[in-house]
Amino acid sequence: MFRYRPPGDIDDLAGRKNQKDFLDDWHNWIEGRVRDEIQGVVHPPKGKDGRRDHPVPHPLFFCEVDHQSSDTAGVPWNGFPLAVSRKYRQNPDAGLAWVDELDAISDDTYTPEGAPLVTPKYRRQDEYCEWHFYKDGPLGPRIVFTAEGPEYWIKLAAYDFDKVVELYQHWVSPDVKKDDLRLQRDMRYDGIGVLKAGSYDPFNVWNTDKGVMHLTHYANTLGAEINLAARATVLRRDGTGARISDSRRLIASSGYGSVNRSSDPNIGHGVNITAVPAGSNKPLSITLANPVGLYMDDLIAPNSIADKDDQPLNGWFNFVRGAKGHGLMAVFEPPAGDARTLEDVFVDGKKLTSGGQIARHIQMIVYAATADLGAPMSPLHPPFLRACVPVGTDVSDLTNVNILPGFSADQTCRAQGPVGNPPFDIDEAYPGLYPAPQGAPLAAVEALHVSSFAGGVVRKSMTRDG
């Protein structure tokens, strides 16, 4: 009998009385999210502007409870925020400093209906890889990286709060107290519901200011990963009728996450092109491989991390939850018996000052699973959304440009501008994706959500982020 297992096949409740109930609930939750996303492709929900994406009656995304997969494929990306690399391309050190600072939610993302605004802190690290640099403390100087979705910890705490405290004390600090991990007031969490005061706080001080146990960025969730993979199976066509196969153009026209990240465009493209390879008219059905999770794959170019004498740091980077290929938590620290310290470390020839320098060498990965279920060839749908850039941007090469996603496909960018504060005019990032507009423009367009995030101007999308 097929069962969805916890990420990395971790078994935190081995030998404890609530183990079976927790594992049953985890299976049911993942199955429910997968089925919800399948229905979201068949019957797309309305966006904030009242529009719906094009329905797909025969979706390629499937649930393994119904059908067994036959093959798996990994989809990799880099662990350092690509939007930050672009914005701070001329001053990478400033980018490292920016991404290491905590931010705070300023909208109602986590606020229950009718309640005062809930504004938790979170890390700005948005590639499903987050870190904390422990300069001192009872466990010693070290940098800890995590890829663990917050939903796992919320559910684990619901079944065994004491075990969660124990794990925090082991991996974060022995000084953690049970009350430190409790919510002071109700919080809404997408895909879970309302977390009541006194229950587990996924943004507690030991997972933000003082340390790291799991992911905190509002876009870094397992629910977002499932949503992204399902919506990426929708095939798109450009203004000439040709299939859109470029990773950024595909996500820009679909809106399943942020076009400016490394993760979302790569995951979406990997799912899309694996389900229907270029030139093929015989699709495969696809899903996320069991156990569904976000993973660190391995450290790439490890010789770029060395001491002042350019000697390699063998044994410094280790997975402590999960394993290579399915890493959930990794620690960078001197091994026992090594007299060198973090002060002696250089990354790419520069002294180590930020966990982001190591994150640039971490390859992330998710796994897709396929099956030949005889699904009919999916039609090519026109773009649902469009991406824009400031007027005057050279759109011949947007590799190093953070673009503005999430605009309606029904109007040109110029018709939907200006944006920003102070306002500036916008134009098409990918003009070839859309045919010439027909008829009158829409009476209303979704209001812009403008902020000072890494891309300069950001629109929240319908899924992960904009």
Q: What is the pLDDT of residues 200-224, one digit of tens each?
A: 999 999 999 999 999 999 999 999 9
pLDDT in the model for residue 460:
38
* Domain contains 413: no
Mean pLDDT of 380-394: 96
pLDDT in the model for residue 452:
29
* Domain contains 406: no
* Domain contains 43: yes
Tell me, letter by letter, the H, E, C secondary structure of the chain: CCCCCCHHHCCCCCCCCCHHHHHHHHHHHHHHHHHHHHHHHHCCCECCCCCECCCCCCCCECCCCCCCCCEEEEEEEECCCHHHHHHCCCCHHHHHHHHHCEEECCCCCCCCCCCCCCCCEEECCCCCCEEEEECCCCCCCEEEEECCCHHHHHHHHHHCHHHHHHHHHHHCCCCCCHHHHECCCCEEECCCEEECCCCECCCCHHHCCCCCCCCCCCCCCHHHHHHHHHHCCCCEECCCCCECCCHHHHHHHHCCCCCCCCHHHHHHHHHHHHHCCCCCCCCCEEEECCCCCCEEEEECCHHHEEECCCCECCCCEEEEEEECCEEEEEEECCCCCCCCCHHHEEECCEECCCHHHHHCCEEEEEEEEEECCCCCCCCCECCCEEEEEECCCCCCCCCCCCCEEEEECCCCHHHHCCECCCCECEEECCHHHCCCCCCCCCCCCCCCCCCCCCCCCCCCCCCCCC
Q: For residue 38, what pLDDT band results from cuts at 50, 70 and 90?
A: very high
* Domain contains 453: no
pLDDT in the model for residue 48:
78
pLDDT in the model for residue 149:
98
Question: Over 70: is that where the pLDDT of 264 sits?
Answer: yes
* Domain contains 372: yes
* Domain contains 87: yes
* Domain contains 186: yes
pLDDT in the model for residue 36:
98
Mean of the per-residue pLDDT values of the chain = 93
Q: What is the pLDDT of residues 124-181, one digit of tens each?
A: 999 999 999 999 988 999 999 999 999 999 999 999 999 999 999 999 999 999 999 9
Question: Over 70: is that where the pLDDT of 406 sits?
Answer: yes
Q: What is the pLDDT of residues 68-85, one digit of tens each?
A: 999 999 999 999 999 999
Q: How many domains does the chain have?
A: 1
* Domain contains 405: no
pTM, two decimal places:
0.93
Q: Which domain holds residue 166?
A: 1-235+284-384
